[in-house]
Amino acid sequence: MKQYRFLFSDQLIIVILMATIFISCQNKQSQNESWVPLFNGKNLDGWVVKFTGQPLNMNYKNTFRVEDGILKVCYNDYDSLNNVFGHLITKESFSHYKIRAEYRFIGDQIPGGAEWAYRNNGIMIHCQPPQTIPLDQDFPVSIEVQLLGGNGNDERPNMNVCTPGTMVMIDGKYPKEHCCNSTAKTYHGDQWVTVEVEVQGDSVIKHLIDGEVVLQYEKPLLDPESPQYSNLYSPETGDRLTKGHIALQAESHPTEFRKVDILILD
């Protein structure tokens, strides 16, 4: 009896030691994470602008602006949208990283905005280089992590995925639908929301809210039916999307970002 008691005690000690080591490693990893701001809180340095029908770096009607340390998508100088969609795109491209943003929707949608664009913005990952976007192209070839707000009544899950000119594998197959829903809840009102995306090159991509994974997919590809397919096909990687730029959208609803940070992964 004593021998079994000693064995159980030794096993318990080993389990406790392993748990302590695991927690210690996790804490050390968290402390060593070096998040870097993509948005510096002062200006649009490090970003380029592209609007439908406008040349590169033409900030149409001063839509993207920085005021009081906040990156704003504003429509104060508009009468109507007129199908002019904007994107604020990083100058650098990235492959393995986490991106974290704090955002909120405010005010009313500009007249002329589509119904689907109500309280709709996005973090575009694996985005095509801005200099390759044709003048009249509405959206860059990319994977859109949708930032969505509710209307106060209806359910509308946040952090869905859309695929302009791309394809992603979900549950072992490539869906034909342009957008696929996450398991996230609906975020009503003008509250600040913190979201995170983990990107592992052309392997796994995860959408997270409050540390919880709400959508996961893998093996992103260029869509062979995209008009940009032949222009973006790479001799080195073929149609695999291994890296790309990051973009924020202007689709007709005023949006504010108070933080946009990146953590480069090994």
- Cβ atoms of residues 222 and 229 within 8 Å: yes
CA–CA dist 126, 148 (Å, integer):
20
pLDDT > 70: percent of the chain: 88
Q: What is the pLDDT of residues 130-161, one digit of tens each?
A: 999 999 999 999 999 999 999 999 999 999 99
- Predicted model pTM: 0.87
CATH homologous superfamily for 36-264? Exo-inulinase; domain 1 (2.60.120.560)
Where are the domains positioned within the chain? Answer: 1-32, 36-264
Question: How many CB atoms sit inside 10 A of residue 187's CB?
Answer: 22
Cα 129 to chain centroid, rounded: 16
Query: pLDDT band for position 225 (50/70/90)?
Result: very high
Q: What is the pLDDT of residues 23-36, one digit of tens each?
A: 444 444 444 679 99
Mean pLDDT of 96-118: 97
CA–CA dist 97, 2 (Å, integer):
53
Checking if the pLDDT of 92 tops 90, the result is: yes
Q: What is the mean pLDDT of the chain?
A: 91
Checking if the pLDDT of 15 tops 90, the result is: no
Question: What pLDDT is recorded for position 10?
Answer: 57
CA–CA dist 37, 167 (Å, integer):
29
Closest CA to 152 of 186, 175, 176: 186
Beta-bridged to residue 88, according to DSSP, are 49, 248
Question: What pLDDT is recorded for position 120?
Answer: 98
Collapsing DSSP states into helix, strand and coil, what is residue 215? strand
Query: pLDDT band for position 3 (50/70/90)?
Result: low
Query: pLDDT band for position 17 (50/70/90)?
Result: very low
Closest CA to 196 of 94, 107, 102: 102
Checking if the pLDDT of 16 tops 50, the result is: no
Which stretches does DSSP call E strand in the chain?
36-37, 47-51, 64-67, 70-73, 86-90, 96-105, 120-127, 143-148, 161-162, 166-169, 179-180, 193-200, 204-209, 212-222, 245-250, 255-264
Mean pLDDT of 211-237: 96
Question: What pLDDT is recorded for position 266?
Answer: 81
- Cβ atoms of residues 243 and 95 within 8 Å: yes
Kindly tell me the burial class for residue 216, based on how many C-beta atoms sit within 10 Å of its own C-beta (0-12, 13-18, 19 or more): middle
Q: What is the pLDDT of residues 231-256, one digit of tens each?
A: 999 999 999 999 999 999 999 999 99
